[in-house]
Structure 1
């Protein structure tokens, strides 16, 4: 399991995170919410092992994150950053295949099956033969999502703990593909036992697709729990500094419906 205990993190002299206790459970989707500057991306980077904690602990399977080599870590977690950048004129298949780089043991048949599965789950199969740089921003995001899926699924042993970390993955997507992506993450968590963390700005998408939510403000945890426990007017007004109404969603099973500025 990927976990933190009293996690703190600085960027230069500025303290970004403080006192974060968190567990990413297999088979669960955890959403991270907060206003701009709350520390969401810093938290994801620290969990990914890309940024060192300056206080507390980050552990994967009980071992400190600092004890994992980059190669070993790449076999256990996949990251979709907020703004993936790629300037090389590669095909979509080549970009998605990057997710399989840490797994040299894959046979050509395994590799092909993995690419097909990842492209299908990301609704990007129709883009497979195109050039990545010729795609729209939303299409590129779906391809990058497929790359992360390929990495988190490749050569996975039954029951092995794997983590998928997504930073604002819906930002450049149309409503249909926002729902498709989050539905794919939820289905992957349920079917494969993957632990998923998703940084989101859309509170209602988080309420619909996440099992638990972490609400951050100024680098600290305001609330951690189910959407119903976290998405209360008092907590949301504290974080977003706006009047909030929290309603019963008209569609059953969708979590609370949040209306800002009402």
Structure 2
């Protein structure tokens, strides 16, 4: 599993976030919340091995992440960055298929099946014959989501640990596709045993779909636990500097809804 203990992470030698301890558990969806500049993307980039940890422990399968080759990391974790960019005039299916690059053992027939499945999961099958650069921003985001799904679904040996790290994947999506993306991720966590970390700005989307929440503010962790436990008026004031009421969700009594009141 991917574990961080007392992790300090930052950029260009400047610490952004200190004292983070977490374990990405198979079958669970961990949501990361915080205001702009709280260190959410820096944390994800560190967990993904794209930034070195400044101090603390960061391990994958009980091995220091810094000692793992990128190819080995790519076989057990997929990353969807906040603003994926691709300027090449590639067909959509070719873009989605790049997710299988860490798995040379995947046959052409298996790859086609993976691409088809990922496009269905991303609600993007109707885009399969298009060119990537001709798509809208939201459509490109769904294709990138399909690409990372291809990566985490490509290796399915029994008991394999696979982590999915998503940085604001709903940012450019309409409400329907925000809902569908998180529904898909939650279902895959349950059915496929994926360990998922997702950065979100929408507190109520996080409350609806995440099993655990990590709240960040002031360079540290404000709260970490189930949504009902961490979504409190005091925590919302600490994280966002705004008063809030936390009420029972009008449709799903198992969940809470946060209403900011300024």
> Are the counterparts in 1 of residues 11 and 51 from structure 2 also a CA contact under 8 Å?
no
What do you get for the CA RMSD once the two structures are aligned? 0.9
Q: 1:52 maps to which residue?
A: 52
Q: How many angstroms apart in 2 are the aligned matches of 1:245 and 1:65?
A: 40
Q: How many angstroms apart in 2 are the aligned matches of 1:11 and 1:113?
A: 39
Q: How many angstroms apart in 2 are the aligned matches of 1:65 and 1:13?
A: 19
Report deviation, 1:185.
0.2
Q: How many angstroms apart in 2 are the aligned matches of 1:137 and 1:254?
A: 34
Q: How many angstroms apart in 1 are the aligned matches of 2:91 and 2:254?
A: 38
Q: 1:198 maps to which residue?
A: 198
Q: 2:188 maps to which residue?
A: 188
Q: SS of the counterpart of 1:9?
A: strand
Runs of 4+ that moved beyond 2 A: none
Q: 1:96 maps to which residue?
A: 96
User: TM-score, length-normalised on structure 2?
Assistant: 0.98
Q: 1:12 maps to which residue?
A: 12
> Are the counterparts in 1 of residues 95 and 147 from structure 2 also a CA contact under 8 Å?
yes
Q: How many angstroms apart in 2 are the aligned matches of 1:134 and 1:212?
A: 37
> Are the counterparts in 2 of residues 39 and 218 from structure 1 also a CA contact under 8 Å?
no
1:158 and 2:162 are equivalent in the alignment: no
> Are the counterparts in 1 of residues 215 and 222 from structure 2 also a CA contact under 8 Å?
yes
Report deviation, 1:261.
2.1
Which moved further from structure 2: 205-214 or 149-158? 149-158
> How many residues get paired?
262
Structure 2: runs of 5+ lacking an equivalent:
none
> Are the counterparts in 2 of residues 7 and 56 from structure 1 also a CA contact under 8 Å?
yes
Report deviation, 1:12.
1.9
Q: 2:123 maps to which residue?
A: 123
Q: 1:233 maps to which residue?
A: 233
Structure 1: runs of 5+ lacking an equivalent:
none
Q: SS of the counterpart of 2:111?
A: helix
Q: 1:133 maps to which residue?
A: 133
> Are the counterparts in 2 of residues 9 and 18 from structure 1 also a CA contact under 8 Å?
yes
Q: How many angstroms apart in 2 are the aligned matches of 1:233 and 1:154?
A: 42
> Are the counterparts in 2 of residues 207 and 254 from structure 1 also a CA contact under 8 Å?
no
Q: How many angstroms apart in 2 are the aligned matches of 1:167 and 1:214?
A: 14
Q: 1:37 maps to which residue?
A: 37
Report deviation, 1:253.
4.4
Q: How many angstroms apart in 1 are the aligned matches of 2:224 and 2:242?
A: 20
Question: CA separation of 1:109/1:253 partners in 2, compared to 1, >3 Å: closer, same or farther?
Answer: farther
Q: 2:168 maps to which residue?
A: 168
Q: How many angstroms apart in 2 are the aligned matches of 1:37 and 1:93?
A: 35
Q: 1:222 maps to which residue?
A: 222
